[in-house]
Structure 1
Amino acid sequence: MDNKDCFEKLWVVNLRNGDNKAFRKLFDTYRNDIYTYSYSLVKNSQIAEEIVQEVFLKVWLGRETLNPELSFRAFIFTITRNHTFNFLKKAVNDKKLKDAVFYQSQNLDSSLEDQIYTAEYEILRKKAIDQLPTKRKRIFQMSREEDKSYLDISKELGISVSTVKGQMNKALSSIRTFLTYNSDLTLLVSFLVFQS
Structure 2
Amino acid sequence: MSVNQAAHSEKLLVKQVIAGNEKAFIKLYDIYKNKIYGYSLKLLKSRVNAEEMLQDVFMKVWQKRETLDEALSFKSFLYTITRNKCFDFLEKAANDEKMKRAIFYQSQKSFVASDKQVIEADFMRIKREAYESLPPKRRTIFKMSREKGMTYDQIGKELGISTSTVKSQMNKALETLRNYFKEHQDVSFTLLLILKIF
So what's the TM-score if we normalise by structure 2?
0.54
CA shift digits 1:119-173 (9 cap, x unpaired):
xxxxxxxxxxxxxxxxxxxxxxxxxxxxxxxxxxxxxxxxxxxxxxxxxxxxxxx
Q: For residues 27 and 101 of structure 2, what CA distance do their matches in structure 1 show?
A: 35
Number of aligned residue pairs: give it: 117
So what's the TM-score if we normalise by structure 1?
0.55
Q: For residues 32 and 16 of structure 2, what CA distance do their matches in structure 1 show?
A: 17
Q: Residue 56 of structure 2 corresponds to which residue in structure 1?
A: 54
Q: Residue 72 of structure 1 corresponds to which residue in structure 2?
A: 74
Q: Residue 39 of structure 1 corresponds to which residue in structure 2?
A: 41
Q: Please report how far the alpha carbon of residue 13 of structure 1 lies from its aligned counterpart in structure 2 after TM superposition.
A: 0.3
Question: Where do 1:1-196 residues align within 5 Å?
Answer: 2-105=4-107, 106-107=110-111, 110=119, 114=123
Q: Residue 154 of structure 2 corresponds to which residue in structure 1?
A: none
**SS of alignment partner, residue 67 of structure 1:** coil
Q: Residue 129 of structure 2 corresponds to which residue in structure 1?
A: none
Q: Please report how far the alpha carbon of residue 100 of structure 1 lies from its aligned counterpart in structure 2 after TM superposition.
A: 2.1
**Greater relative contact order, per chain length (Cα 8 Å cut-off, separation 6+):** 2
Q: Please report how far the alpha carbon of residue 103 of structure 1 lies from its aligned counterpart in structure 2 after TM superposition.
A: 1.2
**SS of alignment partner, residue 70 of structure 1:** coil
Q: For residues 94 and 69 of structure 2, what CA distance do their matches in structure 1 show?
A: 35
Q: Residue 158 of structure 2 corresponds to which residue in structure 1?
A: none
Q: For residues 96 and 70 of structure 1, what CA distance do their matches in structure 2 show?
A: 39
Q: For residues 52 and 97 of structure 2, what CA distance do their matches in structure 1 show?
A: 19
Q: Residue 126 of structure 1 corresponds to which residue in structure 2?
A: none
**SS of alignment partner, residue 71 of structure 2:** coil
Structure showing greater radius of gyration is: 2
Q: Please report how far the alpha carbon of residue 107 of structure 1 lies from its aligned counterpart in structure 2 after TM superposition.
A: 3.7
Amino acid at match of 1:41: L
Amino acid at match of 2:74: F
Q: For residues 49 and 99 of structure 1, what CA distance do their matches in structure 2 show?
A: 19
Structure 1: 4+ residue segments shifted above 3 A: 107-111
Q: For residues 85 and 107 of structure 1, what CA distance do their matches in structure 2 show?
A: 21
Q: Please report how far the alpha carbon of residue 93 of structure 1 lies from its aligned counterpart in structure 2 after TM superposition.
A: 1.1
